Structure 1
């Protein structure tokens, strides 16, 4: 059905496989290398106004799609100054507008009023975390028109980076579903996303589809400054489950003063709007029973597939001793923490 995608990823009609004593085969991603070289020398203009864009428009038209150079030229990235959100004695900087950032801010505000800062991490604390997520998602789903993109595996990647001088970056990118739309364009080697699924297909709703409109997404790249002058950059992949993961990591780091390593390895719950609280079994019967008293609860074990929780990573920098740190979701084979 997708000729170029099949040619690249299914040589001979099958996924590439190695003999038991042979090295793993390599996949050459069409013309992607040439496209990246052109971007490196020509910058964004090569994409939105130049040869990459022209090739992209030509290939989309050949496949029956509707895209023009005028569409590409009309696009511009928005560069925003993010105002900090005060959470207890920390400052939280998160993505604004059509992301999960506003819902994260709402959940943190709810948690700050419902749970004292010295509440130990146990059944009561996880109850407060859950209640804040339930209320925040109720507002998100009724007022913002969020569409569930977490029911299937995704192609989202989150990178958190810190350098020796303490500069931090939290970057999330996505094709949405696995392999996005599954359409690879032969001229550029680019896989096209299927982000149109983020829109509400019903007219007259906050997230309804319209010309020139951007959809609501679940990405939530965030930077946190703790009162001890430790800085953290974090985010995750995992659709609707992204924000609950970032939310809990912030609570672990700020409310419970955990180290980055401790926070990354602490078991989490997930509530992302499906009227079901997913609870890591390692949290124990006290937490499960406490949450079951007021919510529908699904206890689960850590699993590679299906994945019940978002896959976060976090880096930090301690300005006191100029130390850089990093940690990734320990149960995911796709997560990495790498020193450079």
Structure 2
């Protein structure tokens, strides 16, 4: 085995190597479903939809048909990189006046009023129609099988399901279908979802229209009207995903790509621009000074995030200025001089799934699928197995803020698939899950890969840290000397024993060897999943 730099966490597993295709994601059954599509002759985009659909079945607390999707893709035949924004919009009836007149000072974090239009099914349709080779019927077959016949619940899925018990108990429908005698199913339980199988079959038969115009839309509309919700069939019928031009920055000779706002990918690029002003390799991986620089860069970039990021169709966002190297140098200088800018006070929880797929033709899909919080809004549409997401809770009711709620507007969004190009060709497709952690995790992973030369598995294995508004959480591998020095510098260090569940996200990645074109895969040991290829 190749030498590894000293001081890093020992790799949990070897890098996975393959030549014909590869899938990396957080659940092995989903990874296998994508791999089978590749082996049957489908391309990376077909396999991405198949993988995402199985994740909707086997990780129902993280993702589902009632959520959103972002994707970065590389079309090898066209030598073209594109972004897909499949996030849904606010209902026509959703206005600040409605919430204020009903006594709300903010949009509820859960419940029927937190739901916006789910964008994921249309996003899948866009991938298949524009870049795939197979039909919905073909790519949804594995998900339908697992929904009908059941799947055994793995360790981390059981853990997160347990965390959502209280939310599920608030809904008779949800507790009847997704709890067993009022408790989350245990690890190893075979769990079936016949209602979700029915919904998947409708989409397999009639495509995206089954969700946005057909029987599924009717069921959503009826339930919303019966519970004084705002979402209507008209809102679903009008939804369309949007193909977008990715935003990017150059980091030490690598082109880093992200989806533009309303997503928070811009934050990754800002942090990298700031950190590029420092010799991180000389400072030392996960040293106190290294962590301090990350935390201060994060504070500055997140403050801009909270001030500016919104739906670009409704707000004028100074993307070019925020991504300029000159602005990054100003921010870096403020860190060096000890000047303090206001930091982000917005703390976003949330859970999601990430997957990446490559194929022998050179196509690459980097995809994030999410219902935001665990089981989203907690609203389960009867007879469908569909939990609606709670992305509407990320809107502001402040009429002076770019992210203020407006009918037909997309909320500020946390999900951010990533991609790295080298000399114009895909080098790395990757993501790190976990709401506020996503930009922090992506930047730490990229620095591991680019500055410290870690391989695709080690980059995700390495201990991570996460800055919260009230302190910094370090994974246990970071020793007492590091903790003492950071504490001496005035940082509050958070502990799991404080009663909070501090998480550092879940990573998946594929590297395409620029010399051979072969695939190298890595998968986070903090999740149940794997990278697998053939």
* TM bucket, shorter chain: 0.7 to 0.9
2:197 pairs with 1:27: no
Q: List aligned pairs for 1:81-100, cutoff 5 A.
A: 81-100=245-264
2:238 pairs with 1:238: no
2:358 pairs with 1:148: no
2:300 pairs with 1:138: no
Q: 1:138 to 1:67 in 2, by over 3 A?
A: closer
CA contact (8 A) 1:201 1:208 kept: yes
CA contact (8 A) 2:507 2:524 kept: yes
Q: List aligned pairs for 1:277-292, cutoff 5 A.
A: 277-292=472-487
- Size of the aligned set, in residue pairs, is 328
Aligned residue number for residue 63 of structure 1:
227
**SS of corresponding position for 1:320:** coil
CA distance in structure 2 between the aligned counterparts of 1:236 and 1:67, rounded to whole angstroms: 31
Aligned residue number for residue 127 of structure 1:
292
CA distance in structure 2 between the aligned counterparts of 1:26 and 1:64, rounded to whole angstroms: 35
2:505 pairs with 1:336: no
Task: Give the one of 408, 433, 441 matched to 1:212.
Answer: 408
Task: Give the one of 375, 386, 392 matched to 1:179.
Answer: 375
Aligned residue number for residue 511 of structure 2:
316
In the TM superposition, what is the alpha-carbon distance from 1:39 to its structure 2 partner? 1.2
Aligned residue number for residue 456 of structure 2:
260
CA contact (8 A) 2:198 2:384 kept: yes
**SS of corresponding position for 2:372:** strand
More moved, 140-149 vs 43-52: 140-149
Aligned residue number for residue 3 of structure 1:
172
Q: 1:47 to 1:239 in 2, by over 3 A?
A: same
Aligned residue number for residue 21 of structure 1:
none
How does the TM-score come out when normalised to structure 2?
Answer: 0.56
CA distance in structure 2 between the aligned counterparts of 1:188 and 1:179, rounded to whole angstroms: 14
Task: Give the one of 184, 201, 210 matched to 1:37.
Answer: 201
Between 1 and 2, higher relative CO (CA 8 Å, sep ≥ 6) is seen in: 2
More moved, 251-260 vs 107-116: 107-116
CA distance in structure 2 between the aligned counterparts of 1:25 and 1:287, rounded to whole angstroms: 41
Task: Give the one of 205, 208, 214 matched to 1:50.
Answer: 214
In the TM superposition, what is the alpha-carbon distance from 1:80 to its structure 2 partner? 0.6
**SS of corresponding position for 1:283:** coil
Q: 1:269 to 1:41 in 2, by over 3 A?
A: same
Superposed CA deviations along residues 103-135 of structure 1, whole A, max 9, x for unmatched, are 111111111123366654252433332222121
2:360 pairs with 1:164: yes
CA distance in structure 2 between the aligned counterparts of 1:212 and 1:100, rounded to whole angstroms: 20
Unpaired runs of 5+ in structure 2? 1-169, 311-343
CA distance in structure 1 between the aligned counterparts of 2:242 and 2:304, rounded to whole angstroms: 25
CA distance in structure 2 between the aligned counterparts of 1:58 and 1:241, rounded to whole angstroms: 36
More moved, 138-147 vs 230-239: 138-147
CA contact (8 A) 1:162 1:316 kept: no
CA contact (8 A) 1:281 1:300 kept: no
CA contact (8 A) 2:431 2:507 kept: yes
**SS of corresponding position for 2:257:** strand
Q: 1:275 to 1:11 in 2, by over 3 A?
A: closer
Unpaired runs of 5+ in structure 1? 19-23
Superposed CA deviations along residues 264-290 of structure 1, whole A, max 9, x for unmatched, are 111122125x14222234233454345
